Structure 1
Amino acid sequence: MFAQFGSAILASYYMMMITGDSAPISSWVLNTNIIIMILMILFSFFTIIYLMNLFIGILGNLIGNTNHRIAYLALKKEIIVEIELFCLLPFQRRKHNWFPETFFYPVNLDEIRKIVQQVNSTDWNKPSKPYISKTLLKILNIEKQETEEPKKEIEENQINEIKILILESQKEFEKTQNKKIEDLFLELKNLLNNNET
């Protein structure tokens, strides 16, 4: 197989580029089968080019569907958080010119409504749920229906529990008062009986 220059090139082409297997070319001589050798090289070359183009196209479609800007900003946020936590000293973290308390930026109302509805819904899958102020909800004319209903149920349950506790404490108080009154009444009777005798 490596006796001639041409067969050595063909063997290295097949072993390095295609599969690493020398079985297709190990048992025949190059000089007698030149046409088959040329056809094998052409077939493998064009098949590789076709498959590479196919994979590049599929990969391009997959990459094109992702939003690069959002992924970039998320990664940038994570890096900045790590820098703030691990690399800055406490006095550096307190500098207001480095880390302002309030950020102002323009936002489309439709986009912010969608985000607020996602946050208010039960299918929020991020680790921390952001706080949405009542002022923002009033500005957007969004009612917090999903979060108010459980709050009302919780408040009603708490009110019912408090009522039950109050009734129980009233009954206990009445029992103790009645017992004290009976005890006093018995003592009074005993005193009256003792005075008469």
Structure 2
Amino acid sequence: MYLIQLLSFSCLFLDIKFLLFFRAFEYFGVYFAIIISVGKKIFSFLLVLFIIIISFAHAFYILLSPKSKFSLDQYNTNSNDDPNNPWNLAPSYSQVDNNGNINSNPLMMIQIPDGNTNMFIDIKTSLFAIYLFLIGDSSALSNWTYTENPSISVLIVLFSLLVVVYLMNLLIGLLNIAIEEDNNRVSYLMQKAEILAEIELFYLLPHQKRWHTWFPEVIHYYADVDKARVEIKRLIKEGEWDTKEFTELRKNLFEVLQIEYNSIDNEAILEQLKIDNEVILEKLKSHEKLLKENNNELEKLKSHDEKLDKLDKLDKLDKLEELEKLLKEIRAK
């Protein structure tokens, strides 16, 4: 039995593995790039959603799990008081006479319950029941009357508003935003580069990695003339073109693309800018020196003020002492 289950899952994974080989082709690779990148972006949101679903499953498990012992193989008449017992939730059949009166005797027939009669017996099945409720199947909660169990109604309303309405619509919005960001050829090319790197690292033999036909020293790139001209003009305008590398190649590009560009003028402008910057820096340094000198003079003035204050205080003390002497002399007379 377990071998058949393992065989089914292994076939599923092999089919998915075979499907992943199509990532290298642009016709299919664009969609694989969207699927993988979007999955990475919303992984944290899915984790939060999963935790919320587990929380609701735990709440329903505590509320609806049987409180008395039972057996699905044997009916126990002593457990009739437990409303969550699967035997009490299973459909029962009574006898009705010709006048439409229901027989007052106890139930005549009862359907034998199974593990799906009350899916909240176990935490694992309760989690699966909440997942079914999320996708629209509420049969796991239909065995209880909502008027007699208002707590079930409250949990259902909370789950439907929070998860089904709010979070699921929020998930759809996040998916749309992520798809718009990654629905381009750049995502596919990045994925293709990762595939090539994976092949070079793990699927090639050492002598294959040294083949010059596969790994040449010089690589030729194809570029559209109009697009290349626009890109070079943009780089020149933004000041990112003037470098001392590949000067001959740059000159050849200008000739082929018919772009008028005088690198000497630009170099002269850059040199003039450097000179101006140096002059400005020298002026700033001189201003800093002046500020330091002014600060030193201010400190000296502050010290002089402090000395003058001390002298004034001493003069006042001397005068007070003289007055005290005079008062003493007057009192003595």
**TM-score, normalized by length of structure 1?**
0.44
**Which structure's relative contact order is higher, taking Cα pairs within 8 Å and 6+ residues apart?**
2
TM-score for the superposition, normalised by structure 2: 0.30
